[in-house]
Amino acid sequence: MTNACSLARNFVAMGIEVVVADVLTPETCDMYRRELPGCLIVHMTVDFPEAIRRAASRKVWLTDHEFRMLHEADATNPPDADHRIQVDTLDVQSQTEKVARLWEGRR
Protein backbone atom coordinates (compact mmCIF):
# COMPACT_ATOMS: atom_id res chain seq x y z
CA MET A 1 0.00 0.00 0.00
CA THR A 2 2.80 2.40 0.85
CA ASN A 3 4.57 1.69 -2.45
CA ALA A 4 1.32 1.98 -4.42
CA CYS A 5 0.65 5.38 -2.85
CA SER A 6 4.18 6.55 -3.57
CA LEU A 7 3.82 5.57 -7.22
CA ALA A 8 0.37 7.15 -7.38
CA ARG A 9 1.67 10.45 -6.00
CA ASN A 10 4.47 10.45 -8.58
CA PHE A 11 2.08 9.77 -11.45
CA VAL A 12 -0.43 12.37 -10.26
CA ALA A 13 2.38 14.93 -9.99
CA MET A 14 3.07 14.25 -13.68
CA GLY A 15 -0.61 14.79 -14.57
CA ILE A 16 -1.41 11.08 -14.97
CA GLU A 17 -4.62 9.78 -13.42
CA VAL A 18 -4.23 6.70 -11.25
CA VAL A 19 -6.43 3.82 -10.14
CA VAL A 20 -5.26 1.57 -7.32
CA ALA A 21 -7.13 -1.73 -6.94
CA ASP A 22 -6.78 -3.27 -3.52
CA VAL A 23 -8.63 -5.18 -0.83
CA LEU A 24 -10.18 -2.37 1.16
CA THR A 25 -10.51 -2.52 4.94
CA PRO A 26 -11.22 0.29 7.39
CA GLU A 27 -7.48 0.40 8.13
CA THR A 28 -6.33 0.50 4.51
CA CYS A 29 -9.03 3.05 3.73
CA ASP A 30 -7.62 5.32 6.44
CA MET A 31 -4.09 4.81 5.10
CA TYR A 32 -5.15 5.69 1.54
CA ARG A 33 -6.85 8.86 2.80
CA ARG A 34 -3.70 9.81 4.70
CA GLU A 35 -1.24 8.94 1.91
CA LEU A 36 -3.37 10.23 -1.01
CA PRO A 37 -5.35 13.23 0.27
CA GLY A 38 -8.39 13.92 -1.87
CA CYS A 39 -8.47 10.44 -3.39
CA LEU A 40 -11.78 8.90 -4.44
CA ILE A 41 -12.41 5.60 -2.67
CA VAL A 42 -14.93 3.25 -4.26
CA HIS A 43 -15.80 0.08 -2.37
CA MET A 44 -16.94 -2.66 -4.75
CA THR A 45 -18.81 -5.49 -3.07
CA VAL A 46 -20.21 -8.88 -4.00
CA ASP A 47 -22.37 -11.30 -2.06
CA PHE A 48 -20.53 -14.33 -0.69
CA PRO A 49 -21.80 -16.88 -3.26
CA GLU A 50 -20.69 -14.60 -6.11
CA ALA A 51 -17.34 -14.01 -4.40
CA ILE A 52 -16.81 -17.79 -4.25
CA ARG A 53 -17.79 -18.19 -7.91
CA ARG A 54 -15.36 -15.47 -8.99
CA ALA A 55 -12.56 -16.73 -6.78
CA ALA A 56 -12.87 -20.19 -8.34
CA SER A 57 -11.72 -18.72 -11.66
CA ARG A 58 -8.53 -17.20 -10.23
CA LYS A 59 -5.30 -18.32 -8.62
CA VAL A 60 -5.85 -19.17 -4.95
CA TRP A 61 -3.95 -16.88 -2.56
CA LEU A 62 -6.08 -17.29 0.56
CA THR A 63 -7.24 -20.30 2.52
CA ASP A 64 -10.99 -20.94 2.58
CA HIS A 65 -11.02 -19.72 6.18
CA GLU A 66 -9.16 -16.50 5.31
CA PHE A 67 -11.47 -15.89 2.35
CA ARG A 68 -14.60 -16.28 4.49
CA MET A 69 -13.15 -14.13 7.31
CA LEU A 70 -12.26 -11.35 4.87
CA HIS A 71 -15.73 -11.38 3.34
CA GLU A 72 -17.46 -11.43 6.73
CA ALA A 73 -15.26 -8.60 8.06
CA ASP A 74 -16.15 -6.53 5.01
CA ALA A 75 -19.86 -7.09 5.61
CA THR A 76 -19.77 -6.33 9.34
CA ASN A 77 -17.18 -3.53 9.38
CA PRO A 78 -17.07 -1.90 5.94
CA PRO A 79 -14.51 0.78 5.12
CA ASP A 80 -15.53 4.44 5.07
CA ALA A 81 -15.55 4.68 1.28
CA ASP A 82 -16.87 7.60 -0.74
CA HIS A 83 -19.09 5.23 -2.73
CA ARG A 84 -20.17 1.59 -2.64
CA ILE A 85 -21.06 -0.39 -5.73
CA GLN A 86 -22.71 -3.82 -5.56
CA VAL A 87 -21.14 -5.59 -8.55
CA ASP A 88 -22.67 -9.08 -8.42
CA THR A 89 -24.48 -8.64 -11.73
CA LEU A 90 -22.03 -6.24 -13.39
CA ASP A 91 -19.41 -7.30 -15.91
CA VAL A 92 -16.00 -5.62 -15.92
CA GLN A 93 -17.07 -3.04 -18.51
CA SER A 94 -20.14 -2.01 -16.49
CA GLN A 95 -18.07 -1.76 -13.32
CA THR A 96 -15.52 0.41 -15.13
CA GLU A 97 -18.25 2.69 -16.46
CA LYS A 98 -19.80 3.15 -13.01
CA VAL A 99 -16.45 4.06 -11.47
CA ALA A 100 -15.67 6.41 -14.38
CA ARG A 101 -18.98 8.25 -13.82
CA LEU A 102 -18.16 8.65 -10.11
CA TRP A 103 -14.68 9.88 -10.98
CA GLU A 104 -16.00 12.36 -13.54
CA GLY A 105 -18.54 13.63 -11.01
CA ARG A 106 -15.72 14.71 -8.70
CA ARG A 107 -14.06 17.04 -11.17
pTM (two decimals): 0.84
Taking only the tens place, the pLDDT of each residue in 36-67 is: 998 999 999 999 999 999 888 988 888 999 99
Taking only the tens place, the pLDDT of each residue in 76-104 is: 999 999 999 999 999 999 999 999 999 88
Encoded amino acid at 43, one letter: H
Domain boundaries, given as residue ranges, for the chain: 2-105
Asked whether the beta carbons of 80 and 32 are under 8 A apart, the reply is no
Q: How many CB atoms lie within 10 A of CB 46?
A: 19
